[in-house]
Amino acid sequence: MQEYANPSTAEDNSMSLKNHEWILKSRPQGLVKNTDFEYRESDVPPLQDGETLVKVRYLAMDPATRGWMGDGGYVDPLPLDKPVMGVTVGEVLETKNPDVEVGTIVAGVGNWARYMVVPAEQMSVTRAGELGVLAPMDISSGHPIPMYLHALGTSGGTAWYGLMEIARMKAGDAVLVSGAHGSCGSLVCQYAKLKGASKVVGIAGGQEKCAELVELFGCDEAIDYKDCSDLSAAIGKAFPEGLDVFFDNVGGETLQAAMDHLAKGARIAVCGMISQYNATGASPGPENMWNLVANTASITGFLVSDYFGSPECEQAYAQIAQWLDEGKLNARVDVRDDFERIPEVFNELFTGGNRGRLMIQVASAD
Ligand SMILES: NC(=O)c1ccc[n+]([C@@H]2O[C@H](COP(=O)([O-])OP(=O)(O)OC[C@H]3O[C@@H](n4cnc5c(N)ncnc54)[C@H](OP(=O)(O)O)[C@@H]3O)[C@@H](O)[C@H]2O)c1
């Protein structure tokens, strides 16, 4: 179900509300299982001075959360016996914080929960991005809320930062994108085309996704990695002169295959390595690193969190918003009404079930 209404002004009595939270009980091995979590019900406690009650409206499903649940990642592992955390959008329902207004839409890395009670120190613009910190979300450009989790949020910023700043894509470049049908990837393909790439090729799983890459997401060609006996050969066929930019969401064998076909001065932006996130052992690196030397190429990893708040990031969002308004960007969201089934929905990121930016609608506007 899709629901795009903006803030309600409803005031609830927190004492009568039931909360439900997904509590992390163990470090998952491979795909997550229901037994890795507890679906816990509790009463929402009465607010203390300084606290704010937030009704969660949307939870974004991000592959990175799988890393946060485990022992290896770029943040400390999420604590056991506490709620799983991810990008959250909610609405202030009630507050005893004089700096916060009822009805404000807030966002941040919050809980997989129906409600959050947020202390004053964790309702903070200056600490935005820290786990558990929420801050008012700028929805002034008037788009539906899910779009601020997609093209006008993390995915849109990631796609732009990786393509334009890290890979320094310029008009005329030949661009390859892995994970191309997904949230970040589908935006990268379109940005590349809108910015004058000479050729854009997307890699995705399955005929339907590959057809949509060409019909909907700006690709000149698509490679179905699930129906491809030799990915390197397929990439070589698509880029007989080599590729200038590779935006990689997948890693592993996909990265190695792309590195077989670098043009002189190629730039690889490593956005993610989704093929490795459920691995239970060490993953081999590419065996063809020499190709970087031979082609004076570069490979750079990045985190969008380093980009947020910069003037360049603001300019990027202004351009993205304009493209949306002009109908030049197809930013597809996949909104599910499945709070009670979050682990199953989350796994779809790794089995390819999602069709666009995957998120859970936890509550509608009243
Ligand atoms: N660096 C950053 O700051 C940053 C920020 C956000 C996201 N990311 C990364 O960006 C990547 C995409 O994230 P997203 O949120 O946009 O998710 P998404 O692409 O919307 O969804 C994940 C997609 O990845 C594909 N996939 C899953 N397992 C795969 C495998 N083993 N091999 C090839 N493809 C596989 C699936 O599509 P198919 O059906 O095509 O397999 C799936 O639909 C992830 O690696 C994520 O960690 C990085």
Please identify which residue in the block is written with the tokens 């700096």.
99
Residues 43 and 107 in one domain: yes
Residues 143 and 162 in one domain: no
As beta bridge partners, residue 41 has 20
- pLDDT grade for 14, boundaries at 50, 70 and 90: low
* Domain region containing 178: 154-305
Residues 182 and 218 in one domain: yes
Residue 286 counted as domain residue: yes
Residue nearest to atom 45 of ligand 1 (CA): 272
As beta bridge partners, residue 136 has 106
| Structure tokens given for 136 | 């008012």
Residue 366 counted as domain residue: no
Ligand 1 centre and the CA of 182: distance in Å?
A: 6
CATH number at residue 122: 3.90.180.10
Residues 165 and 29 in one domain: no
Residue 87 counted as domain residue: yes
Q: In 44-74, which positions are buried (b, 16+ CB within 10 angstroms) versus exposed (e)?
A: beebeebbbbbbbbbbbbbbbbbbbbeeeee
CATH number at residue 175: 3.40.50.720
The residue to mutate among 161, 177, 184, having the most atoms of ligand 1 within 8 angstroms of its beta carbon, is 184
- pLDDT grade for 73, boundaries at 50, 70 and 90: low
pLDDT tens digits for range 292-338: 999 999 999 999 999 998 999 999 999 999 999 999 999 999 999 99
Residue 240 counted as domain residue: yes
Residues 213 and 255 in one domain: yes
Residue 346 counted as domain residue: yes
In three-state secondary structure terms, 42 is: strand
Quote the CA–CA distance of 285 and 133 in Å, as a whole number. Answer: 35
Ligand 1 centre and the CA of 2: distance in Å?
A: 22
Residues 185 and 89 in one domain: no
**Closest by alpha carbon to 173, among 153, 150, 193?**
193
What are the pocket residues of ligand 1 if the criterion is a CB atom closer than 6 Å to any ligand atom? Answer: 62-64, 154-155, 158, 179, 181-185, 204-206, 209, 249-250, 271-272, 274-275, 302-304, 349-350, 352, 354, 358
Residues 91 and 63 in one domain: yes
Residues 201 and 266 in one domain: yes
Across the range 196-212, mean pLDDT stands at: 98
Residues 137 and 205 in one domain: no
In three-state secondary structure terms, 63 is: coil
Structural domains in the chain (count): 2
Q: No. of H helices and E strands in the chain?
A: 9, 15
Residue nearest to atom 2 of ligand 1 (CA): 303
pLDDT tens digits for range 236-250: 999 999 999 999 999
CA 233 to chain centre: 30
Give the domain-ending residue among 305, 324, 343. Answer: 305
Give the domain-ending residue among 305, 322, 352. Answer: 305
Residues 22 and 101 in one domain: yes
pLDDT tens digits for range 81-97: 999 999 999 999 999 99
**Given the CA of residue 203, which atom of ligand 1 is nearest to it?**
40
Residue 314 counted as domain residue: no
Average pLDDT value over all residues in the chain = 94
Model confidence, pTM: 0.94
- pLDDT grade for 15, boundaries at 50, 70 and 90: low
What pLDDT does residue 211 have?
A: 98
Residue 7 counted as domain residue: no
Residues 80 and 189 in one domain: no
**Given the CA of residue 304, which atom of ligand 1 is nearest to it?**
3
Residue nearest to atom 36 of ligand 1 (CA): 352
What pLDDT does residue 285 have?
A: 83
User: Are the beta carbons of 270 and 300 closer than 8 angstroms?
Assistant: yes
pLDDT tens digits for range 252-294: 999 999 999 999 999 999 999 999 999 988 888 899 999 999 9
Cβ neighbours of residue 219 closer than 8 Å, sequence gap 6 or more:
177, 180, 189, 193, 200, 201, 202, 213
Residue 322 counted as domain residue: no
Residues 167 and 293 in one domain: yes
pLDDT tens digits for range 154-185: 999 999 999 999 999 999 999 999 999 999 99
The residue to mutate among 150, 203, 249, having the most atoms of ligand 1 within 8 angstroms of its beta carbon, is 249
Across the range 51-75, mean pLDDT stands at: 91
Residues in the chain: 366
